[in-house]
Structure 1
Amino acid sequence: MVQFDEVAKVVGAIVLPQLGGWVNGYLTRQEIKGWYQNLKFPSFRPPNWVFGPVWTSLYAGMGMASYLVWRDGGGFEGVARGPLILYGTQLALNWAWTPIFFKRHELKWSFIELAALTTTVAITGISFFNVNKVAGYLFFPYFAWCSFATLLNYKIFKLNPTATNEEIKESKQK
């Protein structure tokens, strides 16, 4: 029989990464309708509506993976300690990208930050795999998406090397 305590832990693990996504989504909504839509994009950029469902799914997967590692690795007192610290690091990097890109409009720095995130995701996924194979596998789609996002961010940076608000507005008016 499933115990309420375990269900609450699973739900908490899945909701935790979603929180940053929800907060960042709320804080950047205006930027998407303004600054972002005026950027130049590569042909392979997905439509905006794709990002919400993808990130919701990825956050759920990484949350479940963190729970499996916590459960099977003895929490912060067992072998899960290092992988969970990596998990927290990649989650902080994940949440940091949005304000760097959308609020600060730092395309170069957001690319560098995203490259660091993708590397940390790979290391976290490997460390999770060493504790729970399913948890490691749950990081595969996340790593693939971060790799794609890194390429997309790089191409946006290259297409918009001086993408301040005013310069984008001026280039659209010409």
Structure 2
Amino acid sequence: MWMPMIGLTALPHLGGLYGGYITRKEVKTWYPTLQKPSWRPPNAAFPVVWTCLYTGMGYGSYLVWKELGGFTEDALVPMGLYGLQLALNWAWTPIFFGAHKLKWALIEIVMLTGTVGATMLSWYPISRTATLLLAPYLSWLCLEAAVWFE
């Protein structure tokens, strides 16, 4: 009973760990060369925020999975959208920090934000709690897009 909850809650953190690996070198070298707005959150906030966001989205996916009785036919759209947004989430860091492709990162974050919104819409009739767990994530994505692409 605990394994699906732990596994689905932990899953988003896998991409976060990989993203952290890519980011750690770039934060010291390439990242300081970028022009950033004065209201951008400090670097120290990002690991804390992403840990909370990944935990919330992962636990939300567990709530939806549980409510739908696992990976059933009814779970195809809500969990498929969740998987798509997770893949887009994991892809953003290598595009932005790894490849330094700012225009591609902008396109990607817009797609990611839209997919998170679609995921929330698909989750709402299943679990309002799961939907609300994605709200801070959607807000953070909007903030990130404003920071990097104002």
- State the TM-score, normalizing by the size of structure 2: 0.96
Which of residues 19, 23, 27 is equivalent to 1:24? 19
Instruction: Describe the SS at the equivalent of 2:38.
Output: coil
Which runs of 5 or more residues in structure 2 are unaligned? Answer: none
Alignment of 1:140-151 (within 5 A): 140-151=135-146
Instruction: State how far apart, in whole Å, the 1-side matches of 2:148 and 2:16 are.
Output: 18
Instruction: State how far apart, in whole Å, the 2-side matches of 1:37 and 1:15 are.
Output: 31
CA deviations on 1:2-46 (whole Å, 9 max, x unpaired) are xxxx22211111110001001110122111100001111111111
Which runs of 5 or more residues in structure 1 are unaligned? Answer: 1-5, 156-174
Look up the equivalent residue of 1:126 and give its one-letter code.
L
Report the RMSD for the aligned CA atoms in angstroms. Answer: 1.0
Partner of 2:94: 99
Q: How many residues align?
A: 150
Look up the equivalent residue of 1:147 and give its one-letter code.
C
Which of residues 133, 144, 147 is equivalent to 1:138? 133
Q: Give the drift of 1:78.
A: 3.9
Instruction: State how far apart, in whole Å, the 2-side matches of 1:48 and 1:11 are.
Output: 28
Partner of 1:36: 31
Q: Report if the CA contact (8 A) 2:4-2:62 is conserved.
A: yes
Partner of 1:165: none
Identity of aligned residues (%): 49
Partner of 2:120: 125
CA deviations on 1:61-114 (whole Å, 9 max, x unpaired) are 000000010010122214222100000000000000001000111111101100
Instruction: State how far apart, in whole Å, the 2-side matches of 1:69 and 1:117 are.
Output: 20
Look up the equivalent residue of 1:132 and give its one-letter code.
S
Q: Give the drift of 1:134.
A: 0.7
Look up the equivalent residue of 2:143 and give its one-letter code.
F
Partner of 2:71: 76
Instruction: State how far apart, in whole Å, the 2-side matches of 1:73 and 1:8 are.
Output: 17
